[in-house]
Structure 1
Amino acid sequence: MSAFPFSGINLAITTPFDTQGNIDYARFETLIEGYIAAGVHGFVLSSGTGMHVYLSKEESKELVAFGAKAIAGRARVIAQTSALLVEDVLERTRHAADCGADGVMVLPPFFEGPTDDQGIVDFYTTVCQAGLPVIGYNVPQAVGVEVTPALFGKLSEIPNFVSVKDSSGDLAAQASLIRTDLPTMNGADPLAPYALYAGAAGLIWGGANMAPRTCVAFVNAAMERQWERAREIWRELEPVMSLIWQGDYVQSVYAGAQLSGYGAGNPRRPLARLSAEKLEVLKAALDPLASREAGLA
């Protein structure tokens, strides 16, 4: 492992729901145990893949508390504490600290929030006062704010601001962040091998819910600079990771995880389960990977 505190795979774990749409904590604990056994290096609780925007503040806080207790120091814990109000972000972040989280991931201000660099710097300066390491989040297609290399440099001067997760899906844009030599985390599934080869500091990976052992083997090989081995494993991962990035991402991860034995139920409304047609396409792409995954158990 590198000196960066969030290197390797940080699994953006799904949040399981029961048939009534409530969080299924018994299943959540089972999933955590399975992923720890698979060797994941860390967890992101209440992630985007984990339906953060469709959890109430209290649900998200309860999920973080339960997850951190279940993980119990066996892997690192990152909590997403994004919210519209900066006061809510601070409250959630302090709660995550109280629960023993190692860091938090926070979106820049969204839904008509500030888009100028100084406004973003001011926002993260406030968030970083909560005391935990903060990972910023670059997903301009969703929030309308792009973390450029220049902005990344300014943010990195803030005490406790440690990294940016790039989920833009733009390889050139991510490479420009990595070239700053500041710790950049990849959050775009199809870019994982390119990001690691270019020098990404770590990954926050939703698609790994479907094949954690294979993803861990791939990342470990890359971190050990066994590039031929990493490329061999990536050939198994690439068809699925590219497919889910093309649309219905969260629904696809839930469906794929169900198919591979890491089921979390269905996504919470308003997201619907994956259509039958898309499920068949996903299953066809996933079958070879699922067989490989089963062989690693």
Structure 2
Amino acid sequence: MTGPLFKGVITALITPFRDGKVDETAFCQLIERQISGGVHGVVPVGTTGESATVSVDEHKRIVELCVNTVAGRARVIAGAGASATDKAIDLVRHAKTVGADGALVVTPYYNRPSQEGLYAHFAAINDAVQLPVVLYNVPGRTGVDLADATTARLSKLPNVVGIKDATGDLGRISRQRLDCAEGFSLISGDDPSWLGYLAHGGHGVISVTSNVAPRAMADLYEATIAGNWDGARAVQDRLIGLHKALFMDSSPSPAKYVLAKLGLCSEEIRLPLVRCNDAAKPSIDAALAVAGVGE
């Protein structure tokens, strides 16, 4: 039996900025903190990395810098989604060229393709580049839902190795687990429900919260692997408020607020996003205290 290629805690990295430019020094330091915190992988320039507002040159530089900094110590799944299939192929090809372990490819957003269009999009990427691809289904952002039947069909393609499911619908994973190819990586994209996702047979999470609390997230995962579900729930109880607090304003502005509070980067964010609103900060601070972050 072939196990999943990607599993465990995989951090959807923020992209730190300073004076309008990518803060490469802070970015590398954040990656080091993730690795020392025990995460199993990182995703540069995903949604949390503000991929929508970085230039193509910045995007490619961030991926290359991430691969070089990680240096084989964890998996690197490069964000590589686009509304245009040709652009997505270019980003996946670049990820392969610089040595990423895989690419996270979101369903095309705004143009709302049919299920057949979605299949054709991912099949074209599969055929164009020999790099493991993780599908990314987040209909709340893209306006299109990758149906379970389409996911199962795509899982039979040789380079499509998993899915990040950010729907928060725990009923879907059982269907996908039963219908997708053997060894297909089932990854949650919803921090509040990922413990339940693991219980349903999932393999891990691509997480916003682990930007802030990598060690606690890794501890939760390791507890489940050891069969210590009581221990996992205890960690989840500490983190559940933080999972929610990090989305009290448009992500990743709350995460950047916390990381700035910890002295790890600037709060700077790119329009049309703005810095975390002051009204949310007391609740975020309270959630941090319960989670034990910064102690």
What range describes the TM-score normalised by the shorter chain of this pair? Answer: over 0.9
Q: Does 1:64 align with 2:63?
A: yes
- Alpha-carbon RMSD: 1.8
Using the TM superposition, give the Cα deviation of residue 242 of structure 1 relative to its aligned residue in structure 2, in angstroms.
Answer: 2.4
Taking the aligned partners of 1:266 and 1:169, their CA distance within structure 2 comes to: 29
Q: Does 1:200 align with 2:202?
A: yes
The answer for the alignment partner of 1:86 in structure 2 is 85
Q: Percent identity?
A: 30
Using the TM superposition, give the Cα deviation of residue 256 of structure 1 relative to its aligned residue in structure 2, in angstroms.
Answer: 2.4
Give the secondary-structure state (helix, strand or coil) at the position aligned to 1:54. coil
Give the secondary-structure state (helix, strand or coil) at the position aligned to 1:249. coil
The answer for the alignment partner of 1:126 in structure 2 is 124
- The answer to whether the 8 A contact 1:15-1:264 is kept is no
Give the secondary-structure state (helix, strand or coil) at the position aligned to 1:77. strand
**CA-to-aligned-CA distance 1:140-168 (integer Å, 9 cap, x gap):** 11112212221111111222011111111
With 97-106 and 268-277 compared, the bigger mean Cα shift is at 268-277
The answer for the alignment partner of 1:14 in structure 2 is 14
* Aligned counterpart for 1:263 among listed residues 262, 265, 269: 265
Taking the aligned partners of 2:125 and 2:137, their CA distance within structure 1 comes to: 16
Taking the aligned partners of 2:147 and 2:227, their CA distance within structure 1 comes to: 28
**CA-to-aligned-CA distance 1:122-146 (integer Å, 9 cap, x gap):** 1101111211111111111111221
Taking the aligned partners of 1:198 and 1:263, their CA distance within structure 2 comes to: 36
Give the secondary-structure state (helix, strand or coil) at the position aligned to 1:165. strand
Taking the aligned partners of 1:89 and 1:240, their CA distance within structure 2 comes to: 33
Structure 1 alignment gaps of length 5 or more: none
- Trace 1:244-283 onto structure 2 (pairs within 5 A): 244-245=246-247, 247-283=249-285
The answer for the alignment partner of 1:4 in structure 2 is 4
- The answer to whether the 8 A contact 1:210-1:262 is kept is no
Using the TM superposition, give the Cα deviation of residue 190 of structure 1 relative to its aligned residue in structure 2, in angstroms.
Answer: 0.6
TM-score w.r.t. the length of structure 1 is: 0.92
Give the secondary-structure state (helix, strand or coil) at the position aligned to 1:53. coil
Equivalent position amino acid for 2:212 in 1: M
Give the secondary-structure state (helix, strand or coil) at the position aligned to 1:52. coil
Taking the aligned partners of 1:63 and 1:143, their CA distance within structure 2 comes to: 23
Using the TM superposition, give the Cα deviation of residue 177 of structure 1 relative to its aligned residue in structure 2, in angstroms.
Answer: 3.2
The answer for the alignment partner of 1:38 in structure 2 is 37
- What is the aligned length? 290
Using the TM superposition, give the Cα deviation of residue 244 of structure 1 relative to its aligned residue in structure 2, in angstroms.
Answer: 2.7
Higher helix share: 1
Using the TM superposition, give the Cα deviation of residue 118 of structure 1 relative to its aligned residue in structure 2, in angstroms.
Answer: 1.5
The answer for the alignment partner of 1:158 in structure 2 is 157
- Trace 1:82-231 onto structure 2 (pairs within 5 A): 82-114=81-113, 116-129=114-127, 130-180=129-179, 182-231=184-233
With 229-238 and 262-271 compared, the bigger mean Cα shift is at 262-271
Using the TM superposition, give the Cα deviation of residue 224 of structure 1 relative to its aligned residue in structure 2, in angstroms.
Answer: 1.9
- The answer to whether the 8 A contact 1:14-1:264 is kept is no
Give the secondary-structure state (helix, strand or coil) at the position aligned to 1:32. helix
Equivalent position amino acid for 1:118 in 2: E
Using the TM superposition, give the Cα deviation of residue 247 of structure 1 relative to its aligned residue in structure 2, in angstroms.
Answer: 4.5
Using the TM superposition, give the Cα deviation of residue 202 of structure 1 relative to its aligned residue in structure 2, in angstroms.
Answer: 2.0
Taking the aligned partners of 1:69 and 1:29, their CA distance within structure 2 comes to: 9
Using the TM superposition, give the Cα deviation of residue 173 of structure 1 relative to its aligned residue in structure 2, in angstroms.
Answer: 3.7
Using the TM superposition, give the Cα deviation of residue 260 of structure 1 relative to its aligned residue in structure 2, in angstroms.
Answer: 4.2
Taking the aligned partners of 1:23 and 1:261, their CA distance within structure 2 comes to: 17
TM-score w.r.t. the length of structure 2 is: 0.92
Note closer, same or farther for the CA distance 1:177–1:247 as it changes in structure 2 (3 Å cut).
Answer: farther
